[in-house]
Structure 1
């Protein structure tokens, strides 16, 4: 990623490895310059699989944000609620991203059950 985005690119510090439906959880992340909570989101992306040049199981879920708390200089904790049903997000493994000002963090693997 371009160096011009280093100040706004989030980095996941900690997240639970197993998430549940409609359960509260938090994600700790660090970012040198938090622009605004309004440009912050957490997304789950289902890893797709490809066969014969056709990608299947493409799914992205934008998580419901409850609040953001500063826990240390440049470190924040986001409170979230897990997806509501298995129809929205079937059980399995997902890549979790923190997105700040349209710049994603590196992903963390989580299991939804």
Structure 2
């Protein structure tokens, strides 16, 4: 047994859905909804800012948990790509939501 055998995780088909992929996708979609709410913060500053901030926090937490618990890289079915997307979109949503909540009219 060599080191590559220890480090290599079994790849999963690209079209198969694993639990980690579903959770990562859900986190990314929640963070995306928060980013959209953050962009629309001009319409209703308080509500959209709060929604964006909360959805961003959920996206960051879910994405970080997926990244930390992943056994392998992309293509292994661990949802690592979706986890990174959830973190990035969650940070964007949180920043937009914070800007909307703290901005004075």
Same fold (TM > 0.5): no
| Larger strand fraction of residues | 1
Larger Rg: 2
- Give the TM-score normalised by structure 2: 0.26
Choose between structure 1 and 2: higher helix proportion.
2
